[in-house]
Amino acid sequence: MKIAVIGAGWAGLAAAVVALKNGHTALLFEASHAVGGRARSLKGEEHQFSLDNGQHILLGAYTQTLAMMGQVGVDTEQAMLSMTMRMQFPDGHGLCLPTWPMPFSLLWAGVMARGWSMADKLSVLRTMTAWQWQGFACDDHVSVAEVCQSLTPKIRADLMEPLCVSALNTPIDRASGQVFLRVLHDALFGQPGCSRLLLPRMNLSRLFPTPALQWLKQNGGQCRLGSRLQFLQQNQQKWRVFDEDFDAVILATSASNTAKTLMQSAKFTTETLANKMRSWATLANTLSFEAIATVYAQFPGAALAQPMLALRSGVMAPAQFVFDKGQLGGPQGLLAFVVSACQGTRESLQAQVLLQAQTQLGLTLQVVQTIVEKRATFSCTPGLQRPPQYIAPGLLACGDYVEGDYPATLEGAVRSAITAVAWLS
C-alpha cells in the first residue's frame, strides 16, 4: 500500500518505520521544519548547547519503544542510563528497589525505606498486596486518590503523588486509578527488567526522531517538512493528500490538529463519511490537557547525589523532580526541574523553583531557560473516553491520546503507531 503519515512526532515516525518494514510505501508529512513533536531538542537561547522540550523517563517495561529505537539503529544501552526503580529525595528518604525478582525487591525496599515509620511501611505492603490480588484493576470511574485511601498520608505524599503526576501528568485527585494501576503493574510485575528507570544520556532528538528520519530515507521512505495538511479528500477508493493519491492515511498529529483536519475534510466528502469525521472530531475535542514546564537552572559546580531526585512539592514548591544534566551527558552544573500539571506564569514558576532549589538542595542557581509545553498531555481522568484509532476505511489516527491502556507516554505513542499499521494489514 501507499500510505501517507501526517505528523512526524514519535507516533508518526514509528508508523512510517513500521509501514516500510511491513513492505508498504510511506510518505511522511510534517507541518514544521523539525521532527520529534513534543519530545525533541530545541536550540537554546543565548547558549551553545541544546535543551529538550521536556524530561522523559523511560522504563524497562517500554518494550515497543525500546524495540523501535533499536530498529532505527539506536544503541539503547549507550543512549540511556539504566537505574533501579527509585523515588528518593535529597535527604535520602524514600524508596529504592534492589535488582531482585518481584515481589522480593518491593518487600525489601519497603522494609528498608528511610524516613518511613512502621505504620507507613505496613500500609504500603498491605495496599500493594491488595492491588496484586485484585489484578491491579479497579472501577473505571475511581480516582488515584480513592485507590490510595488505605495508604498513610506520608506514603501518599512521598510516593504515590509524585508517581501519579510523573506517569499521568494529572493530579492524584483527578487522575484515573485504572490507568495508574496498569502502569504500576507493567512497571513492577512485568517481564524481568521492566522496573528499570532509563534516563536519556543524549538529547531527545538523537534518542529517536533523528535516527528514525535517517532510517526512513535510507530505506526508501520520504519526509516532506513544512507541509501542513488542511484537509484530505476521498477519491473513489483512494485518499487525496497534497494533490497525490494514497491507499491509506494515518493521522499522527495532535488531537486538536487531527480534529481540525477532519472537520475541514468533512466539507468535501459524502454525508456518511462526513458524519464519521465529525463524530471523531467531537469526541477528540472533549479532551482537556495539562501543561509541563522544564526550568533549566545552572551554577558552576552544582551537582546532585544522583542523576535524578524527587522533590517535595506543594503550592509554592511546584517541581516534582530534578535531573542533573551533567551526569546525563550534558553541561556540568546544569539542572532540569520538572513541573508536571503546571499552572501559573513563567516568572512565578521560575521564582518558586529557585527558592525550592535553595530550600531542598541548598543550591543558589540562575535560570538558563524555561520551556513550557502548554498541551503536553491529555488529562488522564477517571472514565475518560478517548478517540478510537479507526475513523473510516483506510483512515486511522495514532498518538498517545487515542484509545489504549497507557497514559500520554512515548510507549503509548509508539504502540498506537504499530496498531494503526496493523489495522491496514
Q: Please give the tally of structural domains in the chain.
A: 3
Q: Is residue 57 part of a domain?
A: no
Average pLDDT for the chain: 93
CATH number (domain holding residue 30): 3.50.50.60
Question: Omega before 307 cis (within 30°)?
Answer: no
Answer whether residue 100 shows pLDDT above 80.
Answer: no
- What confidence tens digit (pLDDT) does each residue in 18-61 have? 999 999 999 999 999 999 999 999 875 555 678 999 899 999 99
- What confidence tens digit (pLDDT) does each residue in 210-232 have? 999 999 999 999 999 999 999 99
> Which of 140, 161, 189 delimits the end of a domain?
189
Q: Are residues 371 and 393 in the same domain?
A: no
Q: Are residues 37 and 101 in the same domain?
A: no
As a whole number, mean pLDDT of residues 67-92 equals 94
Share of the chain above pLDDT 90, in %: 81
* All cell numbers assigned to 385: 473516553
Q: Are residues 212 and 270 in the same domain?
A: yes
As a whole number, mean pLDDT of residues 242-260 equals 96
The string of DSSP letters for 57-91 reads -EETT-HHHHHHHHHTT--HHHHEEEE--EEE-TT
Q: Is residue 261 part of a domain?
A: yes
Q: What is the pLDDT of residue 236?
A: 83
The string of DSSP letters for 290-356 reads EEEEEEEEE-TT---SSSEEE---BTTB---EEEEGGGGTS-TTEEEEEEET--S-HHHHHHHHHHH
Contact assessment for residue 383 and residue 143, using Cβ atoms and an 8 Å cutoff: no
Q: Is residue 54 part of a domain?
A: no
Contact assessment for residue 210 and residue 35, using Cβ atoms and an 8 Å cutoff: yes
> Which of 343, 358, 378 delimits the end of a domain?
378
Q: Is residue 119 part of a domain?
A: yes
Residue 130: other Cβ atoms inside 10 A: 11
- What confidence tens digit (pLDDT) does each residue in 320-364 have? 999 999 999 999 999 999 999 998 899 999 999 999 999 999 999
Eight-class DSSP state of 399: S
CATH number (domain holding residue 302): 3.90.660.20
Q: Are residues 102 and 114 in the same domain?
A: yes
Q: Is residue 334 part of a domain?
A: yes
Q: Are residues 347 and 279 in the same domain?
A: no
Contact assessment for residue 313 and residue 355, using Cβ atoms and an 8 Å cutoff: no
Say what the pTM is.
Answer: 0.94
Q: Are residues 101 and 178 in the same domain?
A: yes
Q: Are residues 224 and 105 in the same domain?
A: no
Q: Are residues 255 and 389 in the same domain?
A: yes
Q: Is residue 60 part of a domain?
A: no
Q: Cα separation of 83 and 94, whole Å?
A: 15
Q: Are residues 374 and 347 in the same domain?
A: yes
Q: Is residue 72 part of a domain?
A: no
Q: Are residues 282 and 337 in the same domain?
A: no
Q: Are residues 297 and 226 in the same domain?
A: no
Residue 141 belongs to what domain range? 85-189
Q: Are residues 283 and 297 in the same domain?
A: no
Q: Is residue 75 part of a domain?
A: no
